[in-house]
Amino acid sequence: MTKLIAGNWKMNGSLAANQALVQAMLEGLQGIEPKAEMALCAPSLYLAQMQSLLTGSAIAWGAQDVSAQEQGAFTGEISAAMLKDFACRYAIVGHSERRQYHAESDAAVASKAQRALAAGVTPIVCVGETLAERDANQTEAVVKRQLAAVIHAVAHCTSEIVVAYEPVWAIGTGKTATPEMAQAVHAVLRKQISAATQHPERVKILYGGSMNAANAASLLAQPDIDGGLIGGASLKAADFLQIVAAAQL
């Protein structure tokens, strides 16, 4: 299946920096027919800018979160319909930083995925274990529990989600899961998805956690790794494009 390389800018950027970064990416893509799909998930405040910079290009854009509510008295929240208004293709849901710092439960993440799908936005559902959970041999149980909550909520729409396996201990730490470690978890997730939908071949499973220009090719060569969710390296045009190029192998 076509791989997806998605950048998660997290809380970085400015009007000027975003414009320079996107321009450098688009220039770097000139004359190239990328075989991978690409997306950039920016802070929501900049989605209008992303729309104006990226419309007509090969790069889609998305948000880093979405409300679990549809609309109404939820101060500070941004609805899936609002994301759709700015032509977002994707919304990351359940990133470990939101689970950790905003106490997002599996149930909340599942509602967010549901809201996104209902508005025509593809949720990128993040799952992943902490170091303590890995050390306690709970990796499989944790990621299966996290994904099961979403599958239960979205039911027959399971084939329309994107999943991202992001081991918490590998995020922003420079410690990447080895390709074999990542593949082992991806295989577990693939099996779970296959049991839940008649179209498992539509579901991309991305790896995220210190993926960079140097290690992308070996991770992306694994049979069940269908792309990457890139943090730090998506803030540098050359690095991001090298990962995109690695996805074409």
What is the size of the binding site for ligand 13P (CB under 6 A)?
A: 14
Contact 170, 177 (CB under 8 A): yes
Q: Which is nearer to ligand 13P, 170 or 196 (CB)?
A: 170
- By CB under 6 A, is residue 60 in contact with ligand 13P? no
HSE on the CB side for 192, CA within 13 Å? 24
- By CB under 6 A, is residue 161 in contact with ligand 13P? no
Ranges within 223-242 binding ligand 13P (CB under 6 A): 229-233
Answer for which of 3, 4, 8, 188 binds ligand 13P (CB under 6 A) is: 8
Burial of 121 (0-12, 13-18, 19+ CB in 10 A): buried
Q: Which is nearer to ligand 13P, 62 or 197 (CB)?
A: 62
Answer for which of 122, 158, 210, 242 binds ligand 13P (CB under 6 A) is: 210
- By CB under 6 A, is residue 209 in contact with ligand 13P? yes
**Tokens 């593949």 map to which residue?**
183
- By CB under 6 A, is residue 208 in contact with ligand 13P? yes
Piece of 13-21, 25-33, 150-158, 203-211 that binds ligand 13P (CB under 6 A): 203-211
C-alpha 172/C-alpha 208 separation (Å) is 10
Residues 4, 232, 180, 132: is their CA dihedral positive or negative? negative
The tokens of 199 are what? 């179209």
Contact 42, 11 (CB under 8 A): no
Name the residues that contact ligand 13P, by CB under 6 A: 8, 95, 166, 171-172, 208-211, 229-233
